């Protein structure tokens, strides 16, 4: 499906367990809508490349599969949202992750007279998540995501988009993946209800090919834009 896009403001949250495709689809949606992706995990991995106290602290949580403490995550993401490129909207990937973060985002938006337009909840079963994450590769330069079987790069270990080197994330080891899925179920799944009550949650079947899932997401966004008097 071809989205007819006049770049109107859209604020979207991608919600879903590890491996559900948040990063994969956030990048495609953001490119189509001409807005940035703000991916908290990517921001933390960038900080973790340093060796200052903040890098060490974040690393400790990420490598265990635990959430980085709220006060750090909220401050970093809110500071990022203040930048000018977010004025015309954004796709948030990986934030909010619990009710406290969701409340902080709601408050941040309402102080500015803004709203979220859409929360996309990607639903995928546990076995499929583990299958996807075990063979994932990520570009160290631009963060693009591949899968050695389902979405391989054209050249081994090289990013199609920027030529960067592909690596396996340190938190994609099987025990850490299992922990991250548990953390999602415990901490993040209450957000499904939180956003459903606000009337902005759309649950999307995250299984099938990447193209299948992207079609479903685009159908939801197109529908939303048709009903939006600003567009
Ligand atoms: P983060 O980087 O957000 O990781 P995550 O939530 O665990 O999600 P993933 O990035 O693993 O999966 P994804 O849903 O993006 O799937 P992807 O598109 O890559 O967070 C990492 C850590 O940072 C957290 O554990 C935490 O410690 C910390 N953190 C981050 N945000 C935080 C916050 N707000 N507060 C506190 N701490 C925070 O797809 C997965 C694979 O599947 C890829 O290989 C892809 O090619 C493949 N694939 C995708 N779709 C399909 C399909 N339809 N069919 C086949 N393969 C597919
Ligand atoms: Mg991701
Ligand atoms: Zn790249």
Question: 108 CB less than 6 Å from ligand 1?
Answer: no
Q: Which atom of ligand 1 is nearest to the CA of 25?
A: 18
Residue 230, pLDDT score: 54
Residue 228, pLDDT score: 67
Question: 153 CB less than 6 Å from ligand 1?
Answer: no
Residue 227, pLDDT score: 77
Q: Which atom of ligand 1 is nearest to the CA of 132?
A: 42
Cα 112 to ligand 2 centre (Å):
28
CA distances (Å), 136 to each of 94, 147, 185, in order? 17, 4, 21
Question: 181 CB less than 6 Å from ligand 1?
Answer: no
Place of tokens 């990022």: 80
Vertex 212 angle, CA 218 and 214, to 5°: 30
CA distances (Å), 1 to each of 15, 55, 155, 179, 222, in order? 23, 42, 28, 36, 10
Which residues of the chain are under the pLDDT cut of 70?
1-8, 228-231
Cβ atoms of residues 48 and 58 within 8 Å:
yes
Residue 2, pLDDT score: 46
Tens of pLDDT, residues 75-115: 999 999 999 999 999 999 999 999 999 999 999 999 999 99
The interaxial angle of helices 70-81 and 40-48, nearest 10 deg, is: 110
- Smallest CA separation from ligand 1 atom 48, residue: 21
**Alpha carbon distance, N-terminus to C-terminus of the chain:** 19
Cα 94 to ligand 1 centre (Å):
8
Q: How far apart are CA 161 and CA 182, in angstroms?
A: 33
Ligand closest to CA 205: 1
Q: How far apart are CA 116 and CA 11, in angstroms?
A: 5
Residue 225, pLDDT score: 81
Residue 4, pLDDT score: 45
């Amino acid at each position: 499906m071809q989205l007819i896009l006049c770049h109107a403001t859209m604020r979207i949250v991608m919600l879903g367990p590890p491996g559900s495709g948040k990063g994969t689809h956030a990048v495609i949606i953001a490119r189509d809508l001409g807005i940035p992706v703000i991916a908290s995990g990517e921001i933390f991995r960038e900080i973790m490349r340093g060796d200052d106290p903040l890098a060490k602290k974040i690393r400790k949580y990420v490598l265990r599969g635990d959430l980085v403490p709220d006060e750090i995550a909220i401050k970093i993401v809110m500071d990022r949202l203040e930048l000018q490129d977010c004025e015309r909207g954004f796709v948030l990937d990986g934030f909010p992750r619990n009710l406290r973060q969701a409340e902080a985002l709601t408050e941040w938006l309402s102080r500015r007279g803004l709203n979220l337009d859409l929360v996309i909840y990607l639903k995928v079963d546990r076995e499929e998540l583990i299958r996807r994450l075990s063979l994932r590769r990520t570009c160290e330069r631009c963060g693009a995501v591949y899968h050695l079987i389902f979405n391989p790069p054209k050249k081994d270990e090289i990013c199609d988009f920027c030529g960067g080197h592909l690596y396996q994330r340190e938190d994609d080891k099987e025990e850490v993946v299992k922990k991250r899925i548990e953390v999602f179920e415990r901490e993040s799944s209450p957000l499904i209800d939180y956003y459903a009550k606000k009337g902005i949650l759309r649950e999307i079947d995250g299984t099938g090919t990447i193209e299948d899932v992207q079609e479903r997401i685009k159908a939801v966004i197109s529908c939303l834009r048709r009903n939006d008097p600003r567009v």
